[in-house]
Amino acid sequence: MAIARRELIGSMAAAGVASTLPITYARAQAKPKIRIGVLNDMSGPYRDITGMGSVACTQQALQDFGASNKGIEVEVIFGDHQNKPDVGAAIARQWYDQGVDMIVDVPTSSVALAVSAVARQKDKVFMDSGAGTSDLTGKLCNPNTVHVTYDTWMLAHATGAAMVKAGGITWFFITADYAFGHALQRDTSNFVIQAGGKVLGSVNTPFPGTTDFSSYLLQAQASGAKVIGLCNAGTDTINCIKQAHEFGVTKTARIAGLLVFISDIHALGLQIAQGLVLSGTFYWNLNPRTRAFSERVAPKMPGVRPGMAQAGCYAATLHYLKTVAAMGVVEAKRSGAETVARMKAMPMDDDVFGPGSIRADGRAVHPAYLFEVKKPEESKEPWDYYNVLAEIPANEAFRPINEGSCPLVHA
Amino acid sequence: MITILGVPGPLLFGQLLLGLINGAFYAMLSLGLSVIFGLLNIINFAHGALFMMGAFVAWMLLNYLGLGYWWALVLSPLIVGIFGLILERTLIKHLYKLDHLYGLLLTFGLALVIEGLFRNKYGSSGMPYQIPPELEGATNLGFMFLPNYRGWVVFAALIACLGTWLLIEKTKLGALLRAATENAPLVQAFGVNVPRLVTLTYAGGVALAAFAGVLAAPIYSVNPNMGSNFINTVFAVVVIGGMGSIMGSIVTGFSLGVIEGLTKVFYPQASETVIFVVMAIVLLARPAGLFGRTA
């Protein structure tokens, strides 16, 4: 009896497998579909710089590319990694196993590095836009990862070197006490010193949890430095700038935000943020192309303008879809590394970053800009916040390829 | 220039004053928590979220109704207080007879829901709120540049704290409240409506949090997480002062602000931890807290 029952169960299971397998197979045969996963912070501190705005920009790329007209079926899904590497890696693994071909965005460096490793392991595509760490295309680079928009090297270089050139020769750093803050301070210090400037001191602030920066700002002011460099992000930066203004620190020193997004400026208001110097690769009101893109995506992002991390998702997705169209959906789904190799071989061109390319180490290169926040009376419309101080050409904006110690680069 | 332990005097005095300002927020928030815990036996984890609501209501009053800071200072605690009243009547009142843990779970859940709703509507980077024009500018104290608004915060906080203390310790209403805490059935037997007293106490504690929220709005960005940044420290303050002790909350609030301020000069990295180190030491030496009585 017992044996009979086991056989029965066994045959039922076998029948179950047999009956489901051919169906999925048949469905996959009929219409191979490209699946794109937007993975970012939907509920925490980086929600406004990525979040649903990144999803909107990704969908805009589908629309502008005209995927359906070209006979390519594309689906976009999204998820919240809560800024936790374990959560991010688990979602990435699950998505890739369920047929997601490309994951885009992923702010928070620690999560980005984890997802990059999963993409390599599963041989899928990972295009990062939201994270800062330059290790993604440095010593931890891999053939499945592309990094668009920005990185810590670019920010430190653009802001650090340009500020010294503009006369800000003495610096004091207020640094968030974790890997990202330290890396940013180290890189910026190097550029400041190279350009002939001097670092007078720095203070490490506990992260997360610091809300009052006034004592650090007073220490910075007491040092007599001409520039106070903020090696932090999000609410920390906002609070620093707000309190610097309140304590009159801005009267004696210039504030340089090393990582500032346009949503931060919006939260501060121009009255307080005016005069702040920052760098980035995209500003919605930069040129006719960026304006055209922002107008197109506006219905999907009511009341806000896209920031650079969100816009970067558009550029990344568009380039990915162009590559998929060139190599064929079936081929593109087969190997992530091969798709990335094809992406590197094709020049990039989109309304967000303009013409650009992806280097052998996975770094997408395009121009970067040094911005200054406008005075309230200079702003002509909502979100009209920046003046361009300098443009840094694509070949100078990012770390030289031979200095990143990326194993993919055979110098 | 005078130097104290290698730190220039003016910098040190500046930090002491800043510590006092932060202490003002700790004192106001821990006071509300203490009152609620003392009379309701509820560990109100939603306090930070209600503080945040106070700031947001001030922002809404300005942006939707055009009512400025001074109106907000009165209306926001009132509105959030009524919200607290509804919370108490509909949810919290069912938990008085149960273990503390249930109250903690409920209020923690409420905090997550409230913060989530605000984050969903207003995003995470926050909203700007300007300092009222009357309090703009700063006064040069010789050793530091004191923004007038910060001076006002310390003053307003002191008034609010002392007012609450007087209300509870020196008035008939306060006497009834304290009596109801000791023996509710007996006080009820004298014809006092104890459940109503308890509801009003909760609303009062919540209104105090909202008042602190309005004071904080021009200093920090008005964002959904502003309360959760504070709440852990504030709980430590309550524990150090002694759960349920009014004076304990006020004194420890201000003094821990000062201790934190000094740590920021000598070893900034530890400034978020120092309060918890103090808490551990106090718990070892005096488990009921500095001002608490052992039950």
Residue among A46, A108, A205, A214 with most chain B CBs within 10 A, to mutate: A214
Q: Half-sphere exposure of A342 toward its Cβ, with a 13 Å CA cutoff?
A: 19
Does residue B225 surpass a pLDDT of 70? yes
Give the residue with greater pLDDT, A138 vs A246: A138
| Average confidence score pLDDT of chain A | 89
Residue A209 structure tokens: 């949890």
Is A174 within 8 Å of A256 (Cβ atoms)? no
Class of domain A31-150+286-366: alpha beta
| No. of helices (H) and no. of strands (E), chain B | 11, 4
Tens of pLDDT, residues B149-174 = 988 999 999 999 999 999 988 999 88
Does residue A221 surpass a pLDDT of 80? yes
Tens of pLDDT, residues B175-215 = 988 888 788 889 889 888 988 988 999 999 999 999 999 99
**CB A201: neighbour CB atoms within 10 A?**
14
Mean pLDDT value of segment A23-30: 45
Give how far B190 is from chain A: nearest CA, Å.
48
Does residue A25 surpass a pLDDT of 50? no
Q: Chain A contact for B135, CB < 8 A?
A: no
Separation of first and last alpha carbons in chain B: 51
The model's confidence at residue A140, banded by pLDDT at 50, 70 and 90, is very high
Residue A354 and residue A369: Cα distance in Å, rounded? 13
Does residue B11 surpass a pLDDT of 80? no
Q: How far is the CA of B101 from the CAs of A245, B106, B243, B280, B293, in angstroms?
A: 43, 9, 15, 21, 21
Give how far B242 is from chain A: nearest CA, Å.
24
Mean pLDDT value of segment A205-225: 85
Model pLDDT, residue A14: 43
Domain ranges of chain A: 31-150+286-366, 153-280+368-396
**Percentage above 70 pLDDT, chain A:** 92
Mean pLDDT value of segment A178-182: 83
Give how far A376 is from chain B: nearest CA, Å.
14
Mean pLDDT value of segment B218-243: 86
Give the residue with greater pLDDT, A141 vs B294: A141
Tell if the CB–CB gap between A248 and B220 is shorter than 8 Å: no
Mean pLDDT value of segment A321-341: 95
Q: Chain A contact for B149, CB < 8 A?
A: yes
Backbone angles phi, psi at A139, to 5 degrees: -70, -15
Give the residue with greater pLDDT, B122 vs A266: A266
- H/E element holding A149? none
Residue A80's DSSP bridge partners are A40
Does residue B72 surpass a pLDDT of 70? yes
Whether the domain at A31-150+286-366 and the domain at A153-280+368-396 fall into the same CATH topology: yes
Give the residue with greater pLDDT, A282 vs B22: A282
Domain ranges of chain B: 31-119+133-223, 225-295
The model's confidence at residue A106, banded by pLDDT at 50, 70 and 90, is very high
DSSP state of B141: -
Strands A227-231, A277-280: pairing kind: unpaired
| Average confidence score pLDDT of chain B | 87
Longest dimension (CA), chain A: 91
Does residue A9 surpass a pLDDT of 60? no
Residue A299 and residue A303: Cα distance in Å, rounded? 9
Model pLDDT, residue B97: 81
CB nearest A206 (choices: B18, B123, B272): B272
**CB B195: neighbour CB atoms within 10 A?**
14
As its CATH architecture, domain A153-280+368-396 has 3-Layer(aba) Sandwich (3.40)
